[in-house]
């Protein structure tokens, strides 16, 4: 069954290899795409329908009914901001719909604090060959499709 993965933020898509963190760049946790967010305060939205199984101010995971999970990481090393500038809109364990706001944040503030605001969107524990239609170098709005996960 194919699962359409939506962009959690507005911006420009880029290859995961462009993420300035080896865990993401080398797809250690799974393949996917990254989005360089457009500036200004915005809400990061759920990339799929499912349940919020992990929730931090800087990152979240939504798991689908069939067990696939998508990680969204808001910036690199943003855990060091200890939640400052991030606003949670949901709680862990909550059922969400794709496109639903999960975390409010400001990519410009992340960059001003000295961190990369790039947003990796990862198909956790997947093999690269199950992803298709990866939109690289495209302008997207939050909620636009960025790749398909086939299983």
Q: Please identify which of the residues 56, 58, 73, 89 carries the catalytic annotation.
A: 73
Can you name the residues that pair with 121 across neighbouring β-strands? 33, 72
User: Please, are residues 102 and 142 in contact by the beta-carbon 8 Å criterion?
Assistant: no
Angle ∠(62,70,59) on CA atoms, nearest 5: 70
Q: Parallel, antiparallel, or unpaired for β 3-6 and 131-132?
A: unpaired
73 annotated active-site: yes
Using CA atoms of 144, 116, 56, 102 in order, give the dihedral in degrees to the nearest 10: -20
Which residues are catalytic, by number?
A: 73
């Amino acid at each position: 069954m194919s699962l359409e993965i939506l962009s959690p933020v507005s911006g420009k898509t880029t290859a995961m290899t462009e993420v300035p963190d080896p865990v993401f760049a080398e797809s250690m946790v799974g393949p996917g795409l990254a989005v360089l967010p457009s500036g200004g305060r915005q809400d990061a939205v759920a990339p799929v329908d499912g349940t919020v199984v992990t929730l931090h101010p800087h990152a979240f995971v939504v798991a689908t009914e069939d067990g696939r999970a998508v990680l969204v990481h808001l910036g690199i090393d943003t855990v060091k901001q200890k939640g400052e500038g991030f606003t949670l809109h949901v709680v862990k364990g909550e059922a969400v719909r794709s496109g639903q706001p999960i975390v409010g944040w400001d990519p410009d503030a992340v960059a001003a604090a000295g961190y990369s605001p790039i947003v990796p969107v990862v198909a956790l524990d997947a093999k690269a060959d199950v992803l298709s239609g990866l939109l690289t170098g495209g302008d997207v709005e939050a909620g636009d499709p960025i790749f398909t996960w086939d299983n």
